[in-house]
Amino acid sequence: MSPQLSVVVVGLLVSSAVFGFCSARYILYTDDILVGGQSLTNGKFKFTMQRDCNLVLSDDSASAIWESETNGQGTSCYVKMQSDGNLVIYDNHEAKWASGNVGMESSYVCILQRDRQVVVYGPQLWSTARAADTPGVLISANSTDTATRKESNATPDMAIVINN
């Protein structure tokens, strides 16, 4: 990741103009889930795992902006932010839908931004450089968490800490 891109990513992640005030109500961390009826919210937007198994992004008028089109495909559905960067809807541990952005094992966050976009952030998913030579991104939900990259013991060139 180039230094300029790193600065842009950090700026986006910490910018109150994009995300509002720092709060977990619009963030799904690695291994977190939303079960039927639970939502991420940011301003007038909601990203809801509905009880009918459909994952829906909506505005304050309840109009769907985007949906996974998985309604009726399960009875106990939940969406999970996986440690490989893939956002997946499961019913009884069977995948029903996936974002398809699978990367290396690391920490990722799914963020409902104030601009109504739902975005998965994390370390770079691909580079022409060898992975061991390329610093990663450390995303932690708690300032007491510590982590090192699995490819090397190198310290990441960028750290993002979001205190709950």
Rounded alpha-carbon distances, angstroms, from residue 50 to 31, 40, 95: 19, 12, 16
pTM recorded for the entire structure: 0.64
Please report where in the chains the tokens 């750290």 appear, as a residue. 159
pLDDT over 80 at 98, yes or no: yes
pLDDT over 50 at 148, yes or no: no
Angle at CA of residue 133, ends 130 and 138, nearest 5° = 110
Within a domain: residue 161?
Answer: no
27-46 pLDDT per residue, tens: 999 999 999 999 999 999 99
**Residue-range definition of the domain harbouring residue 69:** 27-121
pLDDT over 90 at 1, yes or no: no
Within a domain: residue 55?
Answer: yes
Question: Helix or strand or coil: residue 17?
Answer: helix
- What mean pLDDT is reported for the chain? 74
104-141 pLDDT per residue, tens: 888 899 999 999 999 999 885 555 654 444 444 444 44
Tokens of 143: 């300032």
Within a domain: residue 133?
Answer: no
Total structural domains in the chain?
A: 1
105: domain CATH number? 2.90.10.10
Q: CA–CA separation, 133 vs 130, rounded Å? A: 5
Within a domain: residue 59?
Answer: yes
Within a domain: residue 5?
Answer: no
